[in-house]
Chains A and B, each alone.
Chain A
């Protein structure tokens, strides 16, 4: 395994809410440990409401009430290996966009509709690199857009004049302008159609290849993960339940949930009957005991509802949290 760029250990991040004196806890990220390697494309997959976005928020150091980190650590190799959860807000601000960057989901709500793309870029650079003058700003912006293959004429337009795909690509250009080490993309292609989706994903791949940085893609669509990621982490109800090389996960999925996710995907040229996962996603305020998937699992055994399965490495970095597999069962 190559050099680790981000290490996450035993991370617990809960939403604490109080109404009428009753405290409610949402266990959005519960005891998650993993690492991100340099130069890889990592996918984080799972249903909506499984804690993917919360995990990314914590990794970026955006922790605002009602979200609280209850324990664990997040270390960036580029940030001198300090635990960012103990840093002050100003110190994290210095790292953001340069070490870690974020591509948000809705590009329309990111770009100011009243300002031209050029102005948005300039505002952004002035706020984060105040020591550079305006002409070199413009040069950096132009160079960056050209290297990504985007037309320079977009700079003089307003966001509403661009198509949805172009807006999303401008947003990507904006958040990668300081050549960050790690880029987090949260559902970068939801609400885009297939052709545009491909364009956006290929742009992300291009950026990753050009500057050899690390890309983390968060999304519920397994077919996108199959296309571009090197490794996948599958999240279910606040926990990572399976993690490994993309090819391994697709050829030999170990966890029953992963198997459902992969088998439910329709393909062209295949009209055989596909089913969804039975049941509904669990509530994170009151997650099931033991293995959180056991109420929906077709292969549950006695121990599943009693104890929580640990994430165990089965083979070459392929890890799974399932008693059926770890007890040496035929899975």
Chain B
């Protein structure tokens, strides 16, 4: 895995300043996150809302600058890119797919215009016939054809179709990595699988890598190779998806797994769950960020931040496992 590394993130950190002018507080939205994505791999970043996964995606896409840390894409540190030429290359290589397809596309524009514009702006095709050819080819890759969507407005398509159009748009620049931030959470459960299967298909047919950001562990299990579970800016457990989700080690991953509504009327939740009432408090507290809600909390958890511990093919950030070593 070391040789075919596509993306490697090292100690990436983002600190936001919150509060008024006099009472400033540092909010560490992403705290020393490190991981790699290999070629032809689907990597899931999972976590609840407010865990810093979208902040991470925005840093990766270059929309906000990290406070410190490096993002190496094909060996080039993208946080240090200065020239427009290199930047164009990077935006071609890494393409985003956003959460709500009805917000991605303007309701007043026809959806196909986005596809032509992308092809023109990146200089993929110079002449009109070539543009149609490229667009048709990419739409075919996502199971649509140009005549299905030509001249259509967003409201005329279903959420699943529209999301597939936005994947087709992303494919036009021939990227190697797709950053999909909650791509299916706004889509009906009945159409969700059509988009999820598409990512799997793109990986196998075109060798694409996908960073799949989600809170839906069931689809994450279904498509991804490796998973990183995020909690309040930290990756608390990282490893192969089968290992992490079948036998979770970190107490937070265990709770996440139990909370997935399994589509089986025979299994129901027994015990009540602890929820955090105030997001900000958890971000700024010392020690392990999960210590307020953790069922196995110890004294050390409230004082010291746990280290990454290698155990059973994965890294876990929890004091429970540091003692057993």
* Chain A residues close to B by CB (< 8 Å): 47-48, 149, 151, 154, 161-166, 191-199, 201-202, 220-224, 226-228, 246-247, 250, 260-262, 264-271, 273-277, 280-281
Contacts and interface: CB of A to CB of B under 8 A. Distances in A.
| 3 smallest beta-carbon distances between A and B, as pairs | A193-B215, A276-B194, A223-B261
A122 B13 CA distance: 43
Contact of A250 (B219, B261, B264, B272): B264
Contacts of B260: 194, 223, 268
Contact of A163 (B188, B245, B263, B277): B277
Given A195-B259, A264-B193, 16 more contacts: A162-B278, A163-B279, A166-B275, A166-B278, A194-B261, A195-B256, A201-B269, A221-B261, A227-B269, A265-B218, A265-B263, A268-B257, A268-B260, A269-B221, A276-B197, A277-B190
Contact of B277 (A151, A191, A266): A151
A276 B269 contact: no
Interface string B87-122: 000000000000000000000000000000000000
A162 B277 contact: yes
Nearest to A224: B261
Interface string B263-275: 1111011001101
Interface in B145-160: 157-160
Contacts of A194: 48, 215-217, 256, 259-261
Contact of A196 (B48, B194, B272): B48
A246 B268 CA distance: 12
14 contacts: A47-B190, A47-B191, A194-B48, A194-B217, A250-B263, A250-B265, A260-B190, A262-B263, A264-B190, A267-B218, A267-B221, A268-B262, A271-B221, A276-B192
B103 to A, nearest CB: 13
B273 to A, nearest CB: 5
Contacts of A162: 277-278
B261 A268 contact: no
Contacts of A198: 258-259, 261, 269, 273
B185 A191 contact: yes
Contacts of A273: 197
Contacts of A266: 193, 196, 218-219, 221-222
